[in-house]
Amino acid sequence: MILVLDFDRTLFDTDAFYERIRVRGIEHLLGTLASLRSVAVASLIYPEVVPFLHAHAFEAVHIVTSVKGVYGRWDARVQREKIRRSGVSTLVDSVVVVENDKVPAITALVGDTPAVFIDDLPQHLAAVRVALPNVTCVHIDRLGTAPPTDFPRISNLNELGAIVNES
């Protein structure tokens, strides 16, 4: 089975990153390469992510992330660098950064193969579900504060097994 993972708020604690930027008083650098140099990006990967990625076949795991998220648009170059600095890019087969729509990238990765797509934004999950019925879409809600959706919900990657086994 192929796993397609979002990055921000799925693998990476984006809110903690923003807080560290705020505490340093460098909000004006947010979204720049300089902002990445001011924070230990690798320390903001959620604790279960690296063991989870090690437990899955390298060639079956991909990151598809968008530069347009909750807080506006990031430069794709900065997003790629953030992922590189996080250390997780070496643990997955591919990293794809898209402008907004993840469907074409996920389609190219999975085709008709059964897959699981995990994202924190229901609009990305909905678009993938419509386009790719062979993909199980899972909503990750790290804080447990997102409004209810009709997607299976997890709070961390360790909970994914129960969802996949039910599918």
The model's pLDDT over 118-135, given as tens digits with 9 standing for 90+, comes to 999 999 999 999 999 999
Residue 87 φ/ψ region, left for φ over 0, alpha for ψ in the -120 to 50 degree band, beta for the rest: left
- Average pLDDT for the chain: 92
Residue of higher predicted confidence among 5 and 167: 5
pLDDT digit string, tens, across residues 65-115: 998 655 555 788 899 999 999 999 999 999 999 988 999 999 999 999 999
| Domains along the chain with CATH numbers | 2-12+45-166 (3.40.50.1000)
Looking from the CA of 71 toward its CB, the CA atoms found within 13 Å total 11
pTM attached to this predicted model: 0.93
pLDDT digit string, tens, across residues 154-166: 999 999 988 776 5
Q: What value does the mean pLDDT take over residues 33-55?
A: 95
Q: Which residues have C-beta within 8 Å of that of residue 123, sequence separation ≥ 6?
A: none
